[in-house]
Chains A and B, each alone.
Chain A
Amino acid sequence: MSFKSLHSEDFEEFIKKHENKIYRTALAIMRNIPDAEDITQETFLRAYEKAPEFESCDHETAWLIRVTVNLCNSYLRSPWHKQTNQLLESYSAKEPKQYELLENVFALPRKYRAVIHLFYYEGYSTKDIAELTRQKEGTVRSLLTRARQKLKLVLKEENHESI
């Protein structure tokens, strides 16, 4: 059953519940507002057109995040897509330390950014991320480790604790 067959109020509730989560995930991976908005729209359009019957709230969220990550990958994989990193210009950091950390997180390759966001911000376990991104858990662990190492290499000593 898709949302098409339900009342529009149900879908509006669904959007309100998940829109920020999906938008933030898309932003973390795409690093610019126009792309993240496109991805967010496409994700909810897919939910509207053909979302499966969800077994639980967690299942619902996981489905949306999986679709978002896949769409971001498809978008970025297009040979014609020029990647831009303008997130910090659009949403400014509140202090220099935060800026430095974010600048380095957003400079990471996309496979690291996705894993970092899902692990640190969404709080998913490596096992969950493996399922969401259809990777082996070992791969997710190694991506996380490498991302942390990359960040430590480029950040100042005093910021290590915050990573």
Chain B
Amino acid sequence: MRSLNFKRLFKKVFIYFIFTVLFWCLKIAFVNASMLDFENLTLTDNETLSGGSWLSNNVGYYFSNNGFRTIDFETGIVGNLVEVVDKYSYGFISYCSYDNIYQTYRQNELYSEQMNMFDTYVKSFIYSSTVPCTIKYITWKFKYDCGATGTYCNAHPRFVFYGDISDYSLRSYGYLSEPLQVDTSTAQILNQNAVIIDNIDKTNDKLDKLNDNINDNNVDSSNSTISDFFNSFNSGDTKGLQDIIILPLEYVNHLNDKCTPVRLPLGQLGDVDLPCLSETLYNKSEFANLFNILALLINGFIMYKCATSLILFINDLKNPDSDKLEVLEL
């Protein structure tokens, strides 16, 4: 009797053991399947994104399960990148949480983090909560800019979710109901938007240049403009009436030019080379101060005389006896 009971007990224990093993096998298989569903969620494959375009899902991806405690969200450009400078990807994801402590549902309590990417590696961030929370939805918005606006790079963005399986059951993985994807039409619209924005930028640049040109009050180039004015007369007859009229003005315009050594022909005595005195004599250290004072006196005297004569001339304008204006009028 006892042996019969023992056999029955052994049989029950054995069946329980078999079922337990089977259960764990099924559970592990189920978990692995769920993990396969969850990992490597490829948003787009072999998608070529225009530089500067935003890839986003403003609607968000909805979850309906409690139990997430840690979310690891990864993205990146996986694949070949065109070798252009300043390739980077940044963006943010956001999701709201359910706080078990205060039992208040805070929609749009956004947890966001900017991500920078300077290479093809995958950047991730981890959201950790000290309490169990409900992930209501996840939205994302990433900008893939592989260079200057209008350039293209082969971006293979990949979003990978990991859940914290240490404290919570693996079933929480199973609520990802559909793969994340961006349809082709959306990508095309984004590309078109990028082209439109690029054209708008170009138009704005042209308008800025036009505005700068209109508001440009710089007259620094007036000297060269005046030189052009005189030089333009030389296009015609070089020894005609125009030349006689313009020639003195042209020479006056070049009066301030730097001194050049000249050769003085003295007939049978031969030619005499005259070097510039400012470079040969006046700059001698022995006489430099003396000549500086002398130059100051000469220049000052001439300028003083010019100024006084001009003032006298202007004063003469008031003098009715002055005939200067009348002479001109004749």
A, B bound? no
